[in-house]
Amino acid sequence: MLTYLERFERAITHTLLVLMASVVLLATIELAWILVKDVLSPPFFLLEIHELLELFGLFLMVLIGIELLHSVKTYIARREFHLETVLTVAMIAVARKIIVLEPKELPEGTLLGIAALVLALALGYYVMRRSRQEKGDCDLESKE
């Protein structure tokens, strides 16, 4: 029974890997299409602020997809999740939200909440890296 569940889990994770790779590819194509369309529309080779924000948001979405792809790949290879990858994805997602945010349309306190979230993620990342250095663990992700 356990071998069937392991095969099922392996099939699901490989399917997720293929689907995530497809999403990253499509998002990259979408980003390239929007960039070409914006650059080639009058005024040529000039981008407006809203176009830049849209492009930066899409760019960060592609980076999030790549990090998630890496996370699924690591899970398939080693059957483990890396906290560093999870924190990196979270920080990129929050950075993307900050970039595309319209502060004038937010209720009071939202910016303080986002600032607290950024601080908590940065502190968590710092503590995790610091404890890893003190233990003398090598950085597995830099070896790949």
pLDDT digits over 78-128, tens only?
887 778 888 888 998 998 888 888 878 888 788 889 889 999 999 999 999
Supply the mean pLDDT for the chain: 87
**Full-model pTM:** 0.74
Segment 37-57 mean pLDDT: 89
Of the chain, the end-to-end C-alpha distance in Å amounts to 34
pLDDT at 4: 92
| Contact call for residues 67 and 105 (beta carbons, < 8 A) | no
**What is the per-residue pLDDT across 2-30, written as a single tens digit (0 to 9) for each?**
799 989 998 999 999 999 999 999 999 99
Domain ranges of the chain: 2-143
